[in-house]
Amino acid sequence: MYKKQLGNSDLYISELTLGGMSIGTDKKNAQAIIEYALDQGINHLDTADLYDFGENEEIIGGAIKNKRNDIVLTTKVGNHFDKKKKSWFWDPSKEYILKAVKNSLQRLQTDHIDFYMLHGGTIEDRIDETIEAFEQLKKEGLIRAYGISSIRPNVIREYVNHSSIDGVMLQYNLLDRRPEEEILDLLQQHHISVLARGPLAKGMMTEQAKQQIEHKGKDGYLDYSYNELIETAQKLEKLKATHSLNELAFKYIFKHPAVTSAVFGASSIDQVKENINYYSGQEMSDKLYQEIQSVTKPITYQMHR
């Protein structure tokens, strides 16, 4: 599987990233999923300290401890949680980040985190303090690079202008084209990688589109009504030719050069296998790209301006 540089860092990650949130708490099943993904060439694993209140990090740490040098490991911080009470609150303070990273390192059974991300962010945060924390961790060698997981344009711009982030994780897919308007080009210009989560739009942009829209799109999706979702899926079906809709979904987001990796979740080996089979690594033609844009909505961010 092709690997791309993460921002300006010395990290190179596979074009598909296995997101840890869906792997569950069955250690044996989780390990099987992770090992299969690694065997297929995926080298980037994504988790967060909040997932299952730290348990996800523990499971991933146990599964990769004998293969740590072959893996680019990402986790996230910013949600100050209490595992016993199953509660949390937003805390991007320097004090908390410097404390939380040590807990994550312990759960992950490693001495460093390759890519550390702020798990959210608002324009009201003490952003300078958060940046100080990440920069300090880089100097101490506890992390190799850092970034943010956010869809908020105002927050993203602040980090672009005032930090040395190497990546931004945001939602991007055929139905959610919001990043195209103002974010993707900005990040590309600053050599900041995009990690695109939700590439299949909750399964609504797959070969099971109709069933998934019935299940997850009855109340609509972003600016799409239920009827518009059905109509869009039908139009895309006519365009796909020899491709599956899953493959179109992956090819479309990779068309923009800012996109470094697509982040997908999986609760079984079969789901990992499906995503790998639909990923081809081949670029979509300009003609097909424009046709897809003509039948989907170029919606924009209305909040967090």
Q: For strands 143-149 and 72-77, give the pairing.
A: unpaired
Joined together, the tokens standing for residue 165 give 């982030």
Measuring CA to CA, which residue among 167, 173, 177 is closest to residue 258?
167
Annotated active-site residue 51? The verdict is yes
Joined together, the tokens standing for residue 52 give 């299952």
Is there a contact between 209 and 265 (Cβ–Cβ < 8 Å)?
no
Cα–Cα distance for residue pair 271/269, rounded to 1 Å: 5
Alpha-carbon dihedral angle through residues 151, 141, 93, 54, given to the nearest 10 degrees: 70
The set of residues, in sequence order, having a beta carbon less than 8 Å from that of 43 and lying 6+ positions away, is: 1, 3, 12, 13, 14, 70, 71, 72
| DSSP per residue, 41-102 | T--EEE--TTGGGGHHHHHHHHHHTTSGGG-EEEEEE-EEEETTTTEEEE---HHHHHHHHH
Catalytic option among 2, 12, 36, 51: 51
Active site residues: 51
